[in-house]
Amino acid sequence: MSAAAAAATAAAVLVEPAPAKLNLALHVRARRADGYHELETLFAFARDGDTVTLAPAERDTFRVTGPFSEIVGDDADNLVVRAVAAFRAAFGVDERYAITLDKRLPVASGIGGGSADAAATLRALARHRGIARDDTRLDAVARALGADVPACLLGRAALGTGRGDDLVAIAGLGDRPALLVNPLEKVSTAAVFARWDGIDRGGVGEGGTLARALVGRNDLQPAAEAIAPTVRDLLRALANQPGVILARMSGSGATCFALFDEVRARDVAARAISAQRPGWWQLATTVA
């Protein structure tokens, strides 16, 4: 390959972050006829997570790296691969791509790992093809891939209603220190939703984002705790750390998070929990 060709190839490589998604509050209002549930949820996004790297290529390749690569595997049915196929169909694209997913978030953990990866892939493809982020076709592709993908595609704080994919942007948390912890115990989303008690306890209230989160709840938490009691232990461990202003499970679990006022308090909590439970996964980050 000539120097000019190598430079052109390097310039075509796109790196797109796939940050962890948090449900600051998750209120389940009703079961829907389509099998989903009517939700009201406050989405926010960490500054850290997975990464998708995409470049034009002579043939499609998909490679997974990172600490959770063996769990994901180079699976042709991965949401990243499905996102590429759906993008091609929606936009009439026939280009081939080499894609690498650096998988640093636990799988099936309530922080939108697969959805975030799919959304990052769509953003990278849109950037490469010069397609606007607010193109309605891109939103339609995201909705077809999963209920969390539109929020991850937006990638900023939002109120989600309907299945969680009807979105209104809201104020973020301004890089608030946060600690995400997962006991590395898989919790089935379908099983958690199936155990929801069916009681509508009301929607997300009004006010600022943090204030709404503080008075909110995660209606799936009791079901997740029944399936995986470790979730209860994890939440107790987070809530007992000095400086915590909110400790809650995200999504259907098992990842839980704690918000802090100060980075130092977060880091002290991270060290304390590592000492207590060295086998648990952690991510010390900030939430935008």
Give the tens place of pLDDT for each residue, 182-239: 999 989 999 999 999 999 999 999 999 999 999 999 999 999 999 999 999 999 999 9
197 and 212: one domain?
A: yes
- Rounded distance, CA 194 to CA 269, Å? 33
Give the residue among 47, 50, 23, 49 at the shortest CA–CA distance from 249: 23
Percent of the chain with pLDDT over 90: 91
Q: Does the structure show a pLDDT above 80 at 5?
A: no
Query: Which of the listed residues 139, 154, 169 is the one where a domain comes to its end?
Result: 169
**Structural domain for 125, as ranges:** 9-169
Query: Which of the listed residues 169, 197, 232 is the one where a domain comes to its end?
Result: 169
pLDDT in tens, 255-271: 999 999 999 999 999 99
Amino acid present at 254: A
pTM: 0.94
22 and 119: one domain?
A: yes
Phi, psi of 35 (to 5 degrees): 95, -15
Is 148 assigned a catalytic role?
Answer: yes
- Rounded distance, CA 164 to CA 146, Å? 10
- Spot the catalytic one: 102, 139, 148, 219: 148
In a domain, 3, yes or no: no
pLDDT in tens, 165-185: 999 999 999 999 999 999 999
16 and 40: one domain?
A: yes
242 and 206: one domain?
A: yes
Q: Quick one: CA torsion of 197, 147, 121, 151, rounded to 10 degrees? A: -90
Is 197 assigned a catalytic role?
Answer: no
- Spot the catalytic one: 21, 50, 139, 219: 21
26 forms beta bridges with 41, 218
57 and 140: one domain?
A: yes
pLDDT bin (cut points 50, 70, 90) of residue 2 is: very low
Query: Which of the listed residues 169, 204, 234 is the one where a domain comes to its end?
Result: 169
In a domain, 154, yes or no: yes
> Domain tally for the chain?
2
pLDDT averaged over every residue in the chain = 94
Q: Does the structure show a pLDDT above 50 at 1?
A: no
162 and 181: one domain?
A: no
